Structure 1
Amino acid sequence: MAAYVARLSGDDWQAWANQILSCHYGPADYQTIPDKDRGDAGLEGFCPSKGHAYQAYGCEEPVSVQERYEKQRGKMTTDIGKFIANAPILSKLLAPTKIRRWILFVPQFDSKEIVAHASKKTAEVLAANLPYVADDFRVMVCQEDEFAIERDKLISASTKGLQIKSAAITAADLAQWTSTNDVLLEALERKVARLPTLTSDAQRATFVQQVLTWYLDGQAVLDRLRGYPQVYEKVVATKSHREAFLAMTAMQGGKSNEILMATLKELRDTLEREAKELHNFSAEQLAYEAVADWLIRCPLDFPEVASV
């Protein structure tokens, strides 16, 4: 049930990384290196005043910790090889800058082994006695969270918004939840039984599974959204504000299915308005999560007798 930011891979990640780095150093102190002619020579860009050189890499997610490490290790090995082998090209590109840090910039890293691998590569570069390498040179790895201010600034200015996807919820995920939440499951099933559009036990059981999928899917998105505190707080505040008025929903009358759909629409519209940083797909996911959560925990209820 892991979640991940959809753009964090391949060319999309490289473009995003360059935006973050340009925002961090300033557009006049971060030089990107185009790779359309004969490759990037092992560098995405560099900061002349600091002597920092970057290579961006985002592998396809989701992957395990070990798989992520192996992919990042392979990328670091390949591009440090280019950094050493392409001395004639890099001497021209970097002069008179001396590189103090070669940094693999990734969406996230979670294995200490990649740091150990960076130390090994540091020794290889220093041993090569390159004219564009400083005496205190070091290979490092850093991740997006370390540029949180720049990231959030760019997200706030984006017209597309932050899109977060979650891995598909499996039958095992649903079984694990239901095995430890029998009281909540019973409450959900009782409410679903009041929906007049569901006319058979099979339909009701299927819808219960769908609600739980919305809930677990949205919980994964919310968990990843914690890495974007400004946006996360807006989502939580919006959900809490709407929840405070849910008790009035059933009292106002109407069919159960109409109450459900109206609540979904209102929350989705409010999220899109209050948390403009979100892509509308993510706003919709979070709206479904909230409604599923309310159905499970009971803030959202339906009239005892549904009219057909």
Structure 2
Amino acid sequence: MTTDIKKFSDLNGGAAAILKNQKIKRWILAVPLHDSKAVVEHAAKKAAIVRAKKLPYVDVDFQIIIQDRETFDADTWNHRMLLRRRIRPVVPEPTDDEIAVLSEGDQTLADNLRTKMVKRVSDPGELEDVVDDLLRVFVHSENAKDALRYMAPDAYEEVVRLISERLRRLRLGSRKLFGDPLDAEIDSLKAAILAAVPNLDPGAADTIALGAVSDWLMRCPLRLD
């Protein structure tokens, strides 16, 4: 606390530059167990010193408080512990060989992408780049799901269920990707995945959502117009 508050109060330090447009009211010391009156007294003294400096980024009601596990209710604590057990699969980028196997194995996949994306991308060269990107996104997503299945089978099953439910809704609806542009659909699916599996790495959720939408464009009779 003494070291950090000294840095926090230094007008020539990094904190002053970062916080110049803020008004900080609380500085929190998080500890495993808080049972010391001396620490409270020390915090009060340090807070008074900070207030006396009248720093431009410090509120007049500035306080230093100490928190431990007892500060949080059981649900909040359990949620924080869940987030600390972050599921973060390490997935390498797809290789050119993997993309070639997918494209050459079923040419209709790339053709479907061209048919749907040509309405968004008119330049032939750019269109091929977009098709290649979508194929790579799909392969990357499948690799991420495989890694997830190995690391956390329950999370994998939840993700697969969500994707299947979303696709069923699309098929039973207008057969048009609702929430167009595609970014909205991808963001919506990503949010649903993270709501169901809150400790899944957001980057992995993004990869899986991107791949799912790419898969729908390749395999399903969904329109973009």
Q: Same fold (TM over 0.5)?
A: yes
Which residue is equivalent to 1:221? 144
Q: 1:202 to 1:244 in 2, by over 3 A?
A: same
Matched-pair contact (CA < 8 Å) for 1:246–1:299: no
Match of 1:269 among 191, 194, 199: 191
Distance in structure 1 (CA, Å) of the matches to 2:190 and 2:198? 12
Deviations along 1:100-128, whole A, 9 cap, x unmatched?
Answer: xxxxxxxxxxxxxxxxxxxxxxxxxxxxx
Match of 1:168 among 71, 78, 93: 93
Q: Secondary structure at the match of 1:302?
A: coil
Q: 1:253 to 1:270 in 2, by over 3 A?
A: closer
Matched-pair contact (CA < 8 Å) for 1:231–1:277: no
Aligned length: 146
Distance in structure 2 (CA, Å) of the matches to 1:217 and 1:283? 12
Q: Percent identity?
A: 23
1:165 CA displacement: 2.4
Question: Given the alignment of the two structures, is residue 181 of structure 1 paired with residue 106 of structure 2, yes or no?
Answer: yes
1:299 CA displacement: 5.1
Deviations along 1:221-250, whole A, 9 cap, x unmatched?
Answer: 111111211101110111111111124365
Matched-pair contact (CA < 8 Å) for 1:169–1:217: yes
1:263 CA displacement: 1.0
Question: Given the alignment of the two structures, is residue 200 of structure 1 paired with residue 123 of structure 2, yes or no?
Answer: yes
Deviations along 1:63-114, whole A, 9 cap, x unmatched?
Answer: xxxxxxxxxxxxxxxxxxxxxxxxxxxxxxxxxxxxxxxxxxxxxxxxxxxx
- Aligned residue type for 1:204: L
Deviations along 1:117-159, whole A, 9 cap, x unmatched?
Answer: xxxxxxxxxxxxxxxxxxxxxxxxxxxxxxxxxxxx9x97233
- Aligned residue type for 1:232: Y
Matched-pair contact (CA < 8 Å) for 1:268–1:284: yes
- Quote the RMSD (CA, aligned, Å): 2.6
- Aligned residue type for 1:286: I
- Aligned residue type for 1:218: S
Question: Given the alignment of the two structures, is residue 236 of structure 1 paired with residue 133 of structure 2, yes or no?
Answer: no
Matched-pair contact (CA < 8 Å) for 1:156–1:276: no
Distance in structure 1 (CA, Å) of the matches to 2:211 and 2:221? 13
Which residue is equivalent to 2:65? none
1:207 CA displacement: 0.5
Q: Secondary structure at the match of 1:165?
A: coil
1:277 CA displacement: 2.5
Question: Given the alignment of the two structures, is residue 301 of structure 1 paired with residue 213 of structure 2, yes or no?
Answer: no
Q: Secondary structure at the match of 2:116?
A: helix
- Normalising by the residue count of structure 1, what TM-score does the alignment of the two structures yield? 0.43
Q: Secondary structure at the match of 2:90?
A: strand
1:281 CA displacement: 0.9
Q: Secondary structure at the match of 2:84?
A: coil
Q: Which residues in structure 2 correspond to 1:1-308 (within 5 Å)?
A: 157-159=82-84, 161-195=86-120, 198-227=121-150, 228-247=152-171, 248=173, 251=176, 258-298=180-220, 300-303=222-225
Q: Secondary structure at the match of 1:244?
A: helix
- Aligned residue type for 2:117: V
Query: Tell me, which stretches of 5 or more residues in structure 1 are unaligned?
Result: 1-152, 304-308
- Aligned residue type for 1:161: R
Matched-pair contact (CA < 8 Å) for 2:90–2:147: no
Q: Write out the 4+ residue segments of structure 1 that deviate beyond 4 Å after TM superposition.
A: 249-254
Q: 1:276 to 1:201 in 2, by over 3 A?
A: same
Deviations along 1:260-298, whole A, 9 cap, x unmatched?
Answer: 112111101111111112011111111011111111111
Q: 1:169 to 1:275 in 2, by over 3 A?
A: same
- Normalising by the residue count of structure 2, what TM-score does the alignment of the two structures yield? 0.58
